[in-house]
C-alpha cells in the first residue's frame, strides 16, 4: 500500500533539485568530504540518491498519476532568452536512467576507489558530472543545454586524467577534450545560427527554447543559406557536436584512449551516460531534424556506418576495456541510426533509440564494472592475452560479465534483444521506404550484429575460460561487498529490463507521447506538435500505421547473432581454428584494423603535425614580427602618453583649479563653435 501522502507530492515542482542536489554534493565533497566517512564518497552518493528519489517521483507523477508533462522557465538573458526545466517522457527516461546508474556506480566506487588518496576529489568530480548531466537532460533551451554539455565535457576531461601522473592518462584527457571541442565549436555555431534565424523571423520571446523552435518550425523552414535550408545546415552543425560527444565516426578516436581513467569513470561517463548526450540531443531536437530536408538521412547513414565501423575494430583489440569501448561506439551508432530512421517512423524512432540507450546503459555499465572488478582482482592487467580461466577465481564477476555480454549481443529475452532487434527491424521498414541508402543503413546494422557477437564473446572466452596465461591470473581475488552488490543489481536489469517493460512496449508507448502531447507550464499550456505536418516541411512522409517486416527479416539478426557466437566459440573456446595463422603482421586486413584504419595517423601525424603545424609556423612568424610589432608599438604609445599626462598631475591644487576653469572655457568654446557652425 502506497503511503497516501506520497501520492499527493508533485515531484515535478522539485525537478530543479535533481540538478542542484549533486551540485551541492560536489561542493560538500570538495570542501569537507575528506574529513567524513571513509574520507570521501558520502555526500556525492547521498546527493545522487536524493536526485534519484525526485526523478522516480516525477516518473510516478507523470507515468502512473498522469499529471501531465511540465515545463517551467524564467527569464534569463535580455532579448527573451529563458532558462528552465522540462519534465516529459524523454527527459524522464534519461534522468531516471542516469540517476539509477550513477547511484550504483557511486556505490561501486566506494569499494573500487577505497585505496585512492584523493577519493573526495574523485567523488566531487563525479557528482559534478552527474549534476551537469541532469542539467543537460532537463534543459528546455539550447543555450542551457550547451552550457551543461560543456560542463560534462570538462568533468570527462578531469576524470579521464584523474590519474594524471600516468602520462597516457593526461594525454588521453587532452585528446578527449580536443576531439569534443571540434564538434562543440560547430554545435555552438549551430545554436548561434538558430538564434539568428529566429530573430530574423521576428520571434521575440523564449528564443532558442525548444518549445519556441518547435512551434515556429514552419516559419523557420523558410530560411535558407546558399540555397540550402538553414535548418539542414543547423542540423548538420548539431550533428557535428553529436559526433564529438557520442563518439561518432570520425570523431570517435578519443573514446578508446579515455579508458585510461578509473574504470568507474569509463562505466559512468564513457559508456552509460555522457556519451549518450549526443543521442539525447538528436532525440530532444527531433522535430527540428524532421523539418530539415535530408538531415535525418545523414544521421541514419552516419549512425549505421559508425555501428559497423567500430565493431570491426573491436575484433582485433586486446585491451579488455577498449573492446568494450569500441562496442560502445558501435551501439551508439545503432541509436543514432534509428533516430535517422525517424524520417519514416516518426516519434517511434525516438522511443526505440531511448529504449536501446537505457538498456545499453545497464548492460554496458555492467560490462565495464565487471571488467573493473577483473582489473581490481588481477592487479590492473588489461590485456586479455594475459588473462584466462578467471571464472574459477571470480564467479560473481565472471557471470555478471556474461550477463552483460549476452545483453550486448542481443541474446533472446535479455534487454538488448528487445531493444536492438527492434532497431534492426524498423531499419528495414525505413529501408523499404527510404531507397538504396536505406538498405545500406539496414545492411550495416545487420552486419554489425554478427561482429558484435564475435568480439564480445572473444573477450569473454579469452578472459574467463581456458588456462591462465599470466602469473596474476592464476589467483585472482573476488571483489568485495560494494562492488558485488552493484554487479548483481545491474545484472538483473541487463537481463530482465526487456521483460519488465513488457518487451519494451510499455516504454515505447510512454516515450511516444513526447512532443505530440501538450506540456503544462506555470502560465499556460504548450500544445502538442503535429509531427506529420512538421515532417512535410522537411519533405518527409511519416508512416501512419505500424508496418511489419517479413519474418525472415525478424529472424535474420537472431541467426546472425548465433553465427557470430558460434564463430567465437569455435575459435576461442574450443580452439578449433588457430587464429595466429591469420593474425599476423603481413596480413593487410589485420594491419588496417590494428592501425584503426589509420585514422589516428591521419589526425595526428598528417593533419595535426604536418598541415596545422605548417600553417601555425607561418602564422607564428607573422605574429612575432608583424602583429607583435604593431601591438608593442600600441602599448608603447599608450604607456608613453600615460607617462606624459601623468606629469600634468602635479599635486598642486592651484593647477587643478586651473584645469577646472580651463575645462569650463573649452566646453563653452566647443558648444559655441558647434552652434555657430
Partner 1 sequence: MVDYTALLPEGLLIVTAAIVLLAGLFITQKKILGYITLVGLLASLGLILKDWNLTATFDSAPFYGAIVVDPFSQIFGAMFLIVGVLVAIAALKAYGDNPRQDEFYSMMLLATVGMMVVAMSKDLLALFIGFELASISTYALAGFDKRDPKSIEAALKYFLIGGLSSSLMVFGISYIYGLTGSTNIDTIASVFGANPGLAATPAILLAMVMLIAGFGFKMAFVPFHMWAPDTYEGAPSIVSALLAAGSKKMGFAAAFRLFIVGLVAMKVDWYIAFMILAVVTMTVGNILAVVQTSVKRMLAYSSIAHAGYIAVVFVVVAYWNAPDSAVNLAVTGGLMHAFSHAIGKAAAFIAVAAIAYMILSKDKVDDPNHVENYDGLGKRAPMTAFLFALLLCSLAGIPPLFGFTSKFVLFLSTIEAGLLGLAIICVLNSALSVYYYAKVVMRMYWGEPKGEAFVESSTYTFVLAIAVIALIVLFFAPGDMVYQWAETAAHAVTGV
Residues in the site for partner 1, rule: CB under 8 A?
A: 74-78, 638-639, 641-643, 645-646, 648-649, 651, 653, 655-657, 659-660, 662-664, 666-668, 670-672, 674-675
H-type helices in 390-539, by residue range? 390-393, 395-408, 415-464, 481-500, 505-511, 531-537
Q: Which three cell numbers stand for residue 524?
A: 499556460
- We find the least distance from the C-beta atom of residue 145 to partner 1, in angstroms, to be 17
Residue 525 or 657 having the CB closest to partner 1: 657
Would you say 606 or 666 has its CB closer to partner 1?
666
State how far the Cα of 317 lies from the Cα of 94, in Å rounded to an integer: 31
When the beta carbons of 588 and 642 are compared against partner 1, the nearer one is 642
Nearest to 156 by CA among 321, 276, 40, 320: 276
Pairwise CA distance, residues 453 & 448, whole Å: 9
Q: Please count the CA atoms within 13 angstroms of the CA of 206 that sit on its side-chain side.
A: 18
CB closer to partner 1 out of 71 and 223? 71
Q: Give the DSSP per-residue string, 324-387.
A: HHHHHHHHHHHHHHHHHTHHHHTHHHHHHHHHHHHHHHHHHHHHHHHHHHHHHHTTS--BGGG-
DSSP designation for 85: E
CB of 660 to partner 1, least distance (A): 5
Choose between 541 and 632: whose C-beta lies nearer to partner 1: 632
Beta strands in 93-226 (DSSP E): 224-225
> 153 to each of 102, 124, 128, 269, 324, how far by Cα in Å?
16, 15, 11, 10, 20
**Residue 319 CB, nearest distance to partner 1 (Å)?**
40
Q: Which three cell numbers stand for residue 447?
A: 552486419
Closer residue to partner 1 (CB): 144 or 232: 144
> How many whole angstroms separate alpha carbon 297 and alpha carbon 295?
5
Q: Which is nearer to partner 1, 471 or 636 (CB)?
A: 636
CB of 643 to partner 1, least distance (A): 6
Q: How far is the CB of 671 from partner 1 (least distance, A)?
A: 5
Min dist CB 588 to partner 1, Å, is: 54
Contacts of residue 632, defined as CB under 8 A and 6 or more positions apart, other chains included, come to none
- With respect to partner 1, which residue has the nearer C-beta, 76 or 597? 76
The nearest distance, CB 33 to partner 1, in angstroms, is 19
Phi, psi of 594 (to 5 degrees): -60, -35
Residue 32: phi and psi, rounded to 5, are -125, 0
CB of 196 to partner 1, least distance (A): 16
Closer by beta carbon to partner 1, 5 or else 523: 523
In angstroms, what is the minimal distance from the CB of 74 to partner 1? 5
Q: How far is CA 357 from each of CA 258, 420, 566, 648, rounded to the nearest angstrom?
A: 20, 10, 27, 71
Amino acid at each position: 500500500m502506497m503511503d497516501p501522502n506520497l501520492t499527493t507530492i508533485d515531484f515535478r515542482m522539485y525537478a530543479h533539485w535533481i540538478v542542484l542536489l549533486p551540485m551541492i554534493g560536489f561542493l560538500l565533497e570538495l570542501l569537507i568530504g575528506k574529513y567524513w566517512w571513509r574520507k570521501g564518497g558520502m555526500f556525492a552518493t547521498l546527493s545522487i540518491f536524493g536526485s534519484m528519489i525526485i526523478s522516480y517521483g516525477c516518473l510516478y507523477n507523470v507515468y502512473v498519476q498522469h499529471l501531465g508533462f511540465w515545463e517551467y522557465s524564467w527569464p534569463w538573458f535580455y532579448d527573451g532568452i529563458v532558462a528552465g526545466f522540462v519534465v516529459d517522457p524523454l527527459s524522464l527516461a534519461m534522468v531516471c536512467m542516469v540517476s539509477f546508474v550513477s547511484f550504483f556506480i557511486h556505490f561501486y566506487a566506494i569499494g573500487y576507489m577505497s585505496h585512492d588518496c584523493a577519493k573526495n576529489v574523485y567523488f566531487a568530480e563525479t557528482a559534478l558530472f552527474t549534476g551537469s548531466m541532469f542539467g543537460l537532460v532537463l534543459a528546455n533551451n539550447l543555450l542551457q543545454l550547451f552550457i551543461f554539455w560543456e560542463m560534462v565535457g570538462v568533468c570527462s576531461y578531469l576524470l579521464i586524467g584523474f590519474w594524471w601522473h600516468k602520462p597516457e592518462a593526461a594525454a588521453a584527457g587532452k585528446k578527449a577534450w580536443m576531439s569534443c571541442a571540434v564538434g562543440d565549436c560547430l554545435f555552438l555555431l549551430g545554436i548561434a545560427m538558430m538564434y539568428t534565424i529566429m530573430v530574423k523571423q521576428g520571434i521575440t520571446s523564449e528564443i532558442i527554447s525548444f518549445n519556441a523552435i518547435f512551434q515556429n518550425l514552419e516559419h523557420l523552414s523558410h530560411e535558407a543559406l546558399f540555397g540550402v535550408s538553414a535548418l539542414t545546415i543547423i542540423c548538420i552543425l548539431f550533428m557535428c557536436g553529436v559526433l564529438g560527444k557520442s563518439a561518432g565516426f570520425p570523431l570517435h578516436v578519443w573514446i578508446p584512449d579515455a579508458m585510461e581513467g578509473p574504470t568507474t569513470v569509463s562505466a559512468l561517463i564513457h559508456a552509460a551516460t555522457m556519451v549518450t548526450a549526443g543521442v539525447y540531443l538528436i532525440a530532444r531536437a527531433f522535430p527540428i531534424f524532421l523539418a530539415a530536408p535530408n538531415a535525418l538521412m545523414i544521421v541514419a547513414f552516419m549512425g549505421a556506418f559508425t555501428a559497423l565501423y567500430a565493431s570491426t575494430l573491436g575484433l582485433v583489440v586486446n585491451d579488455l576495456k577498449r573492446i568494450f569501448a569500441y562496442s560502445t561506439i558501435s551501439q551508439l551508432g545503432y541509436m543514432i541510426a534509428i533516430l535517422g530512421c525517424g524520417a519514416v517512423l516518426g516519434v517511434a524512432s525516438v522511443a526505440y533509440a531511448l529504449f536501446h540507450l537505457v538498456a545499453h546503459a545497464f548492460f554496458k555499465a555492467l560490462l565495464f564494472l565487471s571488467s573493473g572488478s577483473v582489473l581490481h582482482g588481477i592487479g590492473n592487467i588489461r590485456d586479455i592475452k594475459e588473462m584466462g580461466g578467471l571464472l574459477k577465481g571470480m564467479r560473481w564477476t565472471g557471470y555478471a560479465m556474461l550477463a552483460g555480454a549476452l545483453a550486448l549481443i542481443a541474446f533472446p529475452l535479455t534487454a538488448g534483444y528487445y531493444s536492438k532487434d527492434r532497431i534492426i527491424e524498423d531499419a528495414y521498414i525505413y529501408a523499404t521506404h527510404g531507397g538504396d541508402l536505406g538498405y545500406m543503413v539496414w545492411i550495416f546494422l545487420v552486419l554489425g550484429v554478427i561482429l558484435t557477437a564475435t568480439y564480445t564473446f572473444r573477450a569473454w572466452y579469452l578472459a574467463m575460460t581456458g588456462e591462465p596465461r599470466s602469473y596474476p591470473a592464476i589467483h585472482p581475488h573476488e571483489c568485495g561487498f560494494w562492488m558485488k552488490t552493484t554487479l548483481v543489481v545491474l545484472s538483473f536489469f541487463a537481463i530482465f529490463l526487456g521483460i519488465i517493460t513488457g518487451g519494451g512496449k510499455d516504454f515505447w508507448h510512454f516515450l511516444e507521447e513526447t512532443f505530440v502531447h501538450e506540456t503544462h507550464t506555470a502560465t499556460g499550456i504548450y500544445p502538442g506538435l503535429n509531427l506529420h505536418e512538421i515532417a512535410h516541411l522537411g519533405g518527409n512522409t511519416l508512416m501512419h500505421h505500424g508496418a511489419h517486416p517479413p519474418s525472415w527479416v525478424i529472424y535474420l539478426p537472431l541467426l546472425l547473432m548465433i553465427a557470430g557466437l558460434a564463430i567465437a566459440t569455435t575459435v576461442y573456446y574450443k580452439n578449433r581454428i588457430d587464429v595466429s595463422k591469420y593474425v599476423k603482421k603481413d596480413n593487410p586486413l589485420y594491419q588496417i584494423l590494428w592501425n584503426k584504419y589509420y585514422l589516428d595517423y591521419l589526425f595526428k601525424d598528417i593533419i595535426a603535425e604536418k598541415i596545422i603545424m605548417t600553417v601555425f609556423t607561418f602564422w607564428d612568424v607573422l605574429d612575432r614580427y608583424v602583429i607583435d610589432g604593431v601591438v608593442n608599438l600600441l602599448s608603447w604609445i599608450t604607456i608613453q602618453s600615460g607617462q606624459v599626462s601623468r606629469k600634468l598631475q602635479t599635486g598642486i591644487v592651484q593647477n587643478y583649479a586651473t584645469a577646472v576653469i580651463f575645462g569650463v572655457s573649452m566646453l563653452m568654446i566647443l558648444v559655441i563653435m558647434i552652434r555657430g557652425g
